[in-house]
Amino acid sequence: MQRIREVLGTGWLGHGQFVMEFEGRLKLYLGASHVVAVSSGTAALHLALDAIGVRTGDEVIVPSLTFCGCVQAITALNAKPVFCEVSPQTLNIDVADARKRITSRTRAIMPVHYCGNACDMDALLAVGRDYDVKIIEDAAHAFGSSYHGRKLGSFGDLTCFSFDPIKNITCGEGGAVALSDEKRAQLIRHKRLLGIDRDGWLRHCEQQGWLYDVSTQGYRYHMSNINAAIGLAQMEKLDGFLQRRRHIAQRYNEAFSGIEGIKLLEWNLEESCPFAYVVRVVDGRRDDLIDDLKHQQVATGVNYIPNHLHSHFVAHASSLPVTERLWREIVTLPLYCDMKETDVSRVIESVYSFFARRA
């Protein structure tokens, strides 16, 4: 609340000094060359694709098992999403399958760091170099996660984060693009503010602040000071959030590893900041488990219905038998920082109860 009061005290609620401070904090934390804060994770993906020049008829390879925001960012540029498979072990992008789907029209591959576990970035960046395509990382689940000791966002081409209300940190609503290319970073800064070459805060601080130029196609994707202030306060708590999420995921891993009928995802909890905890129910009883847990007052979810099965994207559908099998197995169990140990225990006991009654 103190940060919000500071914003209100300035009288400048829109894009301004708090956004710049938040970008600086992100840049320092991630070890990134440039960070541009925006209004949402989907806006970050859209701007990243736009900045590398994705246009009508271009192709972007993306796992179908992800949130629709990834695909909407592609189709917003009149580009074609090319759906690929995911690994049964991690639900991250199947790099070998993605490689097979590259054509002369492929401009980018969009891996998703599912649940906060990093994709095989060495393999993906090698593919990018081999075929001269960009890797646009969707790290909406993975703020705070690392790969081989380096924070996601500190290497690679462009990395996009989400700070919506359910993510590892929140701005209320928001996102960011981390990247190394200075020219692209400047382009994204202009595009997030309707293509205007100088934002309102900078103009406010200068003489003849009413002068500006619209230099490129842009969007209303900037972050406000209020959202940035929330993000700054959340950054102070990130280490605690990370440890709590890891602890809950570890408790689940230990509890569920011996249950026949459940397969766990492969986790690297030394480097992951878990966003969600997903298991595979491999005996055809996923929906029964969901219904049973609901009766036991344990909320669950399914992340996600594959995008190629949605009516809006069916024209881009392709054969994805692995993905279609996996989405009928996955269930998301509660994982949030305010969970008490008794809450975690109740989730574990409820899952055990289901399988014990159906043994």
Identify the CATH class of 238-357: alpha beta
Q: Please give the Cα distance from 327 to 118 (Å, whole number).
A: 20
The predicted pLDDT at position 324 comes to: 98
pLDDT tens string 177-187: 999 999 999 99
Q: Residue 88 to residues 142, 299, 337: CA-CA distances in angstroms?
A: 19, 24, 27
Helix (H, G, I), strand (E, B) or coil at 239: helix
Q: What is the average pLDDT score of the chain?
A: 95
Identify the CATH class of 2-235: alpha beta
pLDDT tens string 208-219: 566 788 999 999
Q: Please give the Cα distance from 90 to 146 (Å, whole number).
A: 15
The predicted pLDDT at position 210 comes to: 63
Q: What is the pTM of this model?
A: 0.94
Report which of 273, 246, 267, 271 is spatially closest to residue 339, judged by C-alpha positions.
246
pLDDT at 1 over 80: no
Task: Return the bridge partners of 193, or none.
Answer: 220
Residue 115 region by backbone torsions, left for phi larger than 0, else alpha for psi between -120 and 50, else beta: left
pLDDT at 104 over 80: yes
The predicted pLDDT at position 263 comes to: 98
Asked whether 48 and 77 are in contact (CB, 8 A), the reply is: no
Share of the chain above pLDDT 90, in %: 89
* Catalytic site residue from 80, 134, 151, 167: 167
Note if 294 is an active site residue. no
2-235 shares its CATH topology with 238-357 = no
Residue 128: count of CB within 10 angstroms of its CB: 18
Report which of 105, 76, 106, 71 is spatially closest to residue 313, judged by C-alpha positions.
71
The predicted pLDDT at position 10 comes to: 78
Report which of 46, 84, 64 is spatially closest to residue 303, judged by C-alpha positions.
64
Domain boundary assignment for the chain: 2-235, 238-357
Share of the chain above pLDDT 70, in %: 96
Report which of 218, 232, 175, 183 is spatially closest to residue 3, judged by C-alpha positions.
232
- Predicted confidence band at 142 (pLDDT cuts at 50, 70, 90)? very high
pLDDT tens string 246-280: 999 999 999 999 999 999 999 999 999 999 999 99
- Predicted confidence band at 15 (pLDDT cuts at 50, 70, 90)? confident
pLDDT at 166 over 60: yes
The predicted pLDDT at position 160 comes to: 98
pLDDT tens string 230-246: 999 999 999 999 999 99
Asked whether 21 and 232 are in contact (CB, 8 A), the reply is: yes
Residue 28: count of CB within 10 angstroms of its CB: 11
Task: Return the bridge partners of 84, or none.
Answer: 63
